[in-house]
Amino acid sequence: MERFSAVAIDGPAGSGKSTIARTVAQELGFLYIDTGAMYRSVALKAKLKGVDLEDEAAMAEVAAGVSICFDATGTRVLLDGADVSEQIRTPEITAITKYAARVVAVRERMVELQRAMAANRPVVMEGRDITTVVLKEAKWRFFVTASAEERANRRFKEFKERGHDVDYDQLLSEIIARDESDNEVGPMKDALEIAHNGGGIVLVDTTLMSPAQVVDAIVDNVRANP
C-alpha cells in the first residue's frame, strides 16, 4: 500500500493538538488541516439552514452540498466561500457539532474531502480518525493526549488569561462529556489501542510536557524516520 507523505495526529478535546499540529506543519513546511473545523462547519451550516439536527438524512444532505476550504496557513476556514473561522468556535457550535460527527454519511463525505486535500501535497492533518481511517497509510502517526484534569487545567488558565471567569469543575465535566461523545464514534479507541500495542501510532502523553517539547518530539520523530 502507498504510504502518504503525511503526518496524522489524533487526540481528545483540549489535548493541545491543534496548536501542536499547526506548529509542526510550519516547521516541516507541510499544509496544516484541522478536520474538527470541517465537522464544525457542517454543524454551523445545518444551524443556519434551520435543519433538524437529529435528522440524519438532512444532515447528510447538508454535508453533501458543502464546500469547505482552508487558507494557506490552515487557520482561516471558508464555508461556501464565507470566512467562518470565529463562528465555528462558539460554545453553541462546539455543543452541536456532535450531531454532524455522528452521522456515517457525513463522516464519509468529510473523509473524501480530507483525502483529496492530502492527495497532492504533504500535510499535517489532525482530528479523531486521521491515524485510523482518513490517512491510516500516513508515514507518521501520533496520538497526542493528556489527563482530563490537565486538559481542564489548561483550558482554565486560557480562560483566566483572557479575563473570563470560569469554574474548573465545570470545565472538567465538559471535557469528560466530550470524551464520552467522541468515543461513541470509535476510532479514538482504536488509535489508542494501536498506540499501546506498538502498531505504528506513537503515543505522546503531554501531561508533563510544554507545547514546544511536544512539537520537538514530533518533528524529531518525523525527521528521524524519513
Query: CB under 6 A: which stretch of 47-55, 122-130, 138-146, 156-164 binds ligand DC?
Result: 122-130
Q: In what side-by-side order are the strands of the sheet with 68-70? A: 68-70, 77-79, 82-83
**185: which 3 cell numbers?**
464514534
Using rule CB under 6 A, residue 40 touches ligand DC: yes
Tell me how far, at minimum, the Cβ of 165 lies from ligand DC, in Å.
22
Using rule CB under 6 A, residue 45 touches ligand DC: no
Query: CB under 6 A: which stretch of 57-65, 126-134, 143-151, 161-169 binds ligand DC?
Result: 126-134
Q: How far is CA 58 from CA 18, 62, 63, 95, 185, in A?
A: 29, 6, 9, 19, 19
Query: CB under 6 A: which stretch of 44-52, 71-79, 96-104, 193-201 binds ligand DC?
Result: 96-104
Question: How many residues of this chain bind ligand DC (CB under 6 A)?
Answer: 14
- In which residue are the cell numbers 499501546 written? 196
Decide: 10 and 187 in contact? Cβ < 8 Å.
yes
Which H or E run includes 91?
A: helix 91-101
Using rule CB under 6 A, residue 145 touches ligand DC: no
Closer residue to ligand DC (CB): 74 or 127 = 127
Using rule CB under 6 A, residue 11 touches ligand DC: no
Decide: 189 and 49 in contact? Cβ < 8 Å.
no
Q: Which residues bind ligand DC (CB under 6 A)?
A: 13, 35-36, 39-40, 97-98, 101, 127-129, 178, 182, 185
